[in-house]
Amino acid sequence: MKKISKSASYNPFFCLILIALLIYGCGNEEAPEVTVVSEEVKAEAEVEEKLVEKLPNLGANAEAYYTFGIGAIKDGNFGLAVLAWERATQIDPTMVKAYNYLGRAYYTQGMLEESIEAYKKTVKLEPANPEAYINLGIAYRYSEEFESAINELNKAIELNPLSALAYDEIGMALLKMGKMEEAITAYKNAAAIDPKFPQPHNHLGVAYLMQGETKEADREFKLYEELTKEKKAEQAKIMGGPPH
């Protein structure tokens, strides 16, 4: 199995609206302009204030805030969940599971710098956990910092050489960098490690299609569809219902 190089040759989404401060004019005879805050901004501020008010006082119990955040997500209150997890990590800066939830929540909302910082904390707290490096690598990829993404993903592979997900993610970063052949190699590594993992075949199909290799692309897309159906059938069997 060919390992992807960490070569130095690799080239490098609710956010709260920030209210800009009005710069007043100079001179004693000129009256300062009045800042007009739009109704939309007022509404956003009111919503945020309400969210803060709804966060209960659970004292210095980080676990309670973490659990409250999980419940808030189930109720569809994303903002409150994030506030709860942030409070949990303030109380207990070593709570890895809260950082993991925050990292995912941040990058799904486009808060990529915040996501990267949260995942950096998990890497620092669990340096022997390959999943921590995979999560950080994914956040870097979303941020289009592809070289950094590959570097973290290769660290995951050093810890777990049989991580199909890490190879697949490396392939995605390489594809974005225009390194087509290296991306294909990474996808093939992922597929070889886990023959039932659908995603590498979909990505291989895309790569082949970009190269004009339509037969190879069609083969990979069909494999992806078959494996996806099998995976859904297995999940439905576990859940005791028909696949959707």
Query: Tokens in use for 216?
Result: 């190879």
Query: Tokens in use for 126?
Result: 């669990």
Look at residue 60 in the predicted model and tell me its pLDDT.
Answer: 95
Q: Is the pLDDT of residue 28 over 90?
A: no
Q: Which pLDDT band holds residue 27 (cuts at 50, 70, 90)?
A: very low
Q: What is the mean pLDDT of the chain?
A: 82
Look at residue 125 in the predicted model and tell me its pLDDT.
Answer: 98
What would the mean pLDDT of 182-193 be, rounded to a whole number? 98
Query: Tokens in use for 197?
Result: 């993992």
CA separation for the pair 38, 17 (Å, rounded)? 12
162 close to 136: Cβ distance less than 8 angstroms? no
Look at residue 242 in the predicted model and tell me its pLDDT.
Answer: 57
